[in-house]
Structure 1
Amino acid sequence: MNFVSIRLITADLERLVRFYERLSGLRATRYTEDFAELITPACTLAIGSTRTLQLFGGDIARPADNHTAIIEFRVDDVDESFRRLKDVIGGALVQEPTTMPWGNRSLLFRDPDGTLVNFFTPVTKEAIAKFNR
């Protein structure tokens, strides 16, 4: 098995795509007006409008209703990312950069639909080794 993507369902595709483009510095590929992807070296973030749910049988997911997942991005310098993206994150900040007990320095905030997003940088010897394998 190979984990390849996470898909977010949203009522406002363009708003969410623009947000993740600004965060990542990547351009999304828009396949239709209802579906786009941001492709990173490790995984793809897919974003679909609520209209795409009909292709899966109807009301199977609710936009802006995630209370269990955190989307995580490894960045080179979480403190620099925080300084650069403060205006993008705005009032959606959950936690400023903090070094976690497992060795990552972590910045936690919410996207426009309320999904938690974590930018992190491994900072301890063990965490660096784990992510450089």
Structure 2
Amino acid sequence: MNLISIRIITSKIEELIHFYEQVTGAIAVRFTPDFAEIKTKTATLAIGSTNTLQFFGGDTVAQPAQNRSVIIEFMVDDVQQRFEVLAPLLKECTVQEPTVMPWGNKSLLLRDPDGNLVNLFTPVSKEAVAKFGGE
């Protein structure tokens, strides 16, 4: 079994697509006005409007902007550099500036327009670098 994607259901599809394009530096592939994907080497972040819920059983299947238990994480080459480039754009959504965590990652915590917690991180300790296949 392989994790292929995480899907965010939102009533703010254009805002979320714009946010994740800025944060990741990737361009979303828009399949319909109600659905887009941002692909990385290892997984896909899918963004669907509330209009897509009809295909999954109706409006009560998922509720936008209700998550308080999941962190969406992206490993980046240099989180400090990414923060410096994005800082002017991310003033309102920064939860924690780049900080070295006890497990060896330097993490930047943000909230997307729906309030989902987003972690951009770079492994910095020897153990964390090794964990992610680095030297």
Fold agreement, TM-score > 0.5: yes
Cα RMSD for the two superposed structures: 0.9
Deviates more, 1:42-51 or 1:18-27: 18-27
Match of 2:11 in 1: 11
- Unpaired runs of 5+ residues, structure 1, are none
Take 1:123 and 1:43, find their aligned partners in 2: how far apart are those partners? 22
**Which stretches of structure 1, 4 residues or longer, exceed 3 Å deviation after superposition?**
none
2:122 partner letter: T
Match of 1:97 in 2: 98
TM-score (normalizing by structure 2): 0.95
Match of 1:31 in 2: 31
8 Å CA contact 1:103–1:123 kept in 2: the answer is yes
Take 1:56 and 1:34, find their aligned partners in 2: how far apart are those partners? 14
Measure how far apart 1:55 and its partner are.
Answer: 0.5
- Describe the superposition over 1:18-71 as per-residue Cα deviations: whole angstroms up to 9, x where unpaired: 111111111111001110000110110000000101100011111111100000
Take 1:21 and 1:94, find their aligned partners in 2: how far apart are those partners? 19
1:47 partner letter: I
Q: How does 1:11-90 map to 2 (within 5 A)?
A: 11-58=11-58, 59-90=60-91
Measure how far apart 1:88 and its partner are.
Answer: 2.2
Match of 2:126 in 1: 125
Take 1:82 and 1:94, find their aligned partners in 2: how far apart are those partners? 12
Measure how far apart 1:87 and its partner are.
Answer: 2.0
- Unpaired runs of 5+ residues, structure 2, are none
Matched, 1:107 2:108: yes
TM-score (normalizing by structure 1): 0.97
Take 1:73 and 1:89, find their aligned partners in 2: how far apart are those partners? 16
1:116 partner letter: L
2:73 partner letter: E
Measure how far apart 1:111 and its partner are.
Answer: 0.5
Q: How many percent identity over aligned positions?
A: 59
1:54 partner letter: Q
